[in-house]
Amino acid sequence: MKHTIIGMAGHIDHGKTALIKALTGIETDRRPEEKSRGITIDIGFAYWRDDITIIDVPGHEKFVKNMVAGVSTIDFFILVIAADDGVMPQTKEHLDILKFFGVRQGIVVINKIDLVDDDWLQLVRDDVYTYLHNQEYGDQPVIEVSATTGQGIDILRQAILDKIDQLEQRIDSRPFRLFVDRSFSAKGFGSIVTGTVLSGKVAVDDEVLLYPAKRKLRVRGIQTHQHDVRQATAGLRAAVNLAGIEVRQLPRGTVLAEPESIEPVRSFLAEVFTTAYFKFKIKRNAEVRVHVGTAAVNGRMNWFEEDSVLNNEEHYHVRIRVSEDIIAVPGDAVLLRSLSPVTTLAGGKVLQLNPPHLHRKDEEWKKYFKILTDGTLTERLRLIFRSENRRAISLNELIKLLFEKPSTLKNALQPLLSAREISRFTMNKENYYVRQELVTSTAHSIEQILAEQAKKFPMRPKLNRKELLDALPNHQMDSFLFEQSLRYALKAKLISGEEDRFLHPDAVDNQLILQHKQKIREIYEKTGFHPPDMKDLAAAVDGRMELKDIKNLTADLNRSGVLISISGKYYLHAHHWQRLFKFLRQYFKQNEALTVDELRRFTDTTRKFLIPLLEYLDQSGYTVREGDLRKIGPQLLKS
């Protein structure tokens, strides 16, 4: 069934609440204060038939923030203008807000026609038509009624039904999201929130996330139009019963959404249009009140245009930074109001979340905003990748940046993959995407670093991952980009490597290195259980060799299995390690415990090496120490 949500707007005391009652029989002013003062303070709701919701919003200027919360999700508006007043300040402000929120369809109602004569009504009628025409709403129907006497109400009802028939069906392709506009507690049920399902669907027993707190909640029950249902879909007003949370933790402005589909932000780009009515100067970086959905927070606004102050009735491209986490997605309406005096300044559409730095004096920002405003999803994705010079982007991050389903994003990414503009890889079971040009340039940087290392330090041409990352120009790049670039460099044979050691191909067959490694092998094979320390080894191989060089060569021989590292300080030739290993296995077949003297007799070594050897055997699990004795360890038992 097609559901329609109508927002009833207009100046205070122009009869909005009375008109809703005349249409539906429902009194939307539910608070005692509203009834005693005769004004609407907060948003109210009336259900007409099973498929129409009418939201009554406050007309007083002090409660515009509540009005914004009410109209953020409507399909069309009814703008009420009293015949005895005509167009008033909140008439103008409300229509501006409706325009900013992208609500282009509506019905204008001239109410209280029973209070004026024909001549006055004609003056008001002319004023209303002129005003609507100037605001680009001249093609919307104008109905004259009296909520008190019922005159014209049937005509208005039919006009509403006609307008509903003309509305285009909402296209829904995004994950579930609902702005909370009201919360309360019901005996036997617990906490309940109401709002419009903006996209996707929510079902009983679903797990949803409450934002910005990122708290997981379970849906206990759902009502739409006061009927219990199993699920609510996009475009419906819904009351959602949530388990395990108190009402005070569900204020207006919070959001329910599909888990891992969205992320709170502090900065976004938007395109806005200023009103005609503010009369004071708004300078760059001015503090303003930022309204998105049902939330309102303080923030600061900067624009890219050259104007030193905001001008009336002008388009601006702005960066907005807010003082606390807010939930917004591209395409959301945003409203900006001044703090003092309080008035509406501008409104428009959110374009990009957590944007990169753009230079106001660089004309490229115009092209950037043009793509954000008019570009396809693929073009906007390309923009994101071109802005990233230090990292890869996961599919999960793209979902949260653009608030799109994984399948939608994968389809939009495919042209970029086919054209090899980006590449895809998997790490930690997650898909990542990165600009191919960035991978290629980083791979060549790695190649150059290793070439310079081989040239400067021919005896230690290899570098590990950390050393390579530290040497790269953009050290702040993330590990995912680095790993993909390393893979590319190895596959393209720009570099060679094994485990965590990499070198330039020109350094692989360095004859001097091969000679030195052979000499080291021979020394360790000859010395057996009397291995030299690093300084003596360096002197024996080449008197000019630095300590770093000899450590690098012995580490290479250790990785290739020629040498066995004993606690990182000494090495044994693999042949002598096998001798020791065989001795221990045979010994423990015949004996329960090994003494230090028995091991010394076998190795015929000094205490200087014997102690590190015993510690290594214990730490590696070949032996287990009990006092001065050693018993067989799990590593020997397994072999």
Give the phi and the psi of residue 390 in degrees, each rounded to 5: -135, 0
Tell me which of 21, 60, 92, 517 is the catalytic residue: 60
| Through-space distance between the first and last CA atoms of the chain, rounded to whole angstroms | 71
| List of residues 6+ apart from 563 with CB closer than 8 A | 520, 521, 524, 554, 557, 571, 572, 573, 574
Which amino acid does the sequence have at 152? Answer: G
Contact 239, 192 (CB under 8 A): yes
Task: Confirm whether 139 is a catalytic residue.
Answer: no
Annotated catalytic residue, options 3, 4, 17, 75: 17
Give backbone dihedrals phi and psi of 536, rounded to 5 degrees, phi first. -65, -40
* Contacts (Cβ under 8 Å, ≥6 apart) of 101: 71, 72, 333, 335, 347
Q: Which of 11, 13, 573, 576 is catalytic?
A: 13
Does an H or E element contain 123, and which?
Answer: helix 118-134
| The one catalytic residue among 11, 14, 16, 516 | 16
Mapped onto helix, strand or coil, the DSSP state of residue 125 is: helix
* Cα dihedral value 260, 265, 268, 271, nearest 10: 70
Angle, CA 337 vertex, CA 333 and CA 341 arms, to 5°: 170
**Phi, psi of 324, deg, nearest 5:** -150, 165
Specify the DSSP element, H or E, that contains 631. Answer: strand 629-632
Between CA 87 and CA 92 the distance in angstroms is 7
574-590 and 511-527 helices cross at what angle (nearest 10)?
30
CA 540 to chain centre: 59
Angle at 25 between CA 23 and CA 26, to 5 degrees: 105
- Give me Rg for the CA atoms of the chain: 37
Q: Is there a catalytic annotation at residue 194?
A: no
Of the candidates 456, 452, 451, the residue with the CA atom closest to the CA atom of residue 496 = 451
Q: How many angstroms separate the CA atoms of 300 and 316, rounded?
A: 14
Of 547, 557, 546, 576, the closest CA to residue 519 belongs to 557
Q: Measuring CA to CA, how many Å separate 538 from each of 420, 508, 532, 542, 551? A: 49, 21, 9, 6, 9
For residues 458 and 512, is the Cβ–Cβ distance under 8 A?
Answer: yes
Question: In this structure, are residues 172 and 258 in contact, taking their beta carbons and an 8 Å threshold?
Answer: no
Q: Which of 217, 328, 315 is nearest to 266 (CA)?
A: 328
CA nearest neighbour of 76 among 208, 11, 166: 166
Q: Which two tokens stand for residue 1?
A: 């069934």
- Is 11 an active-site residue? no
DSSP H helical ranges for 339-405: 364-374, 377-387, 395-402
The answer to whether residue 172 is catalytic is no
Q: Are 395 and 406 in contact (CB under 8 A)?
A: yes
Instruction: Tell me whether the omega of the peptide bond preceding residue 32 falls within 30 degrees of 0, making it cis.
Output: no
Task: Name, in order, each residue with C-beta under 8 angstroms of 414's C-beta and a sequence gap of 6 or more.
Answer: none
Q: Give catalytic residue positions.
A: 13, 16-17, 60
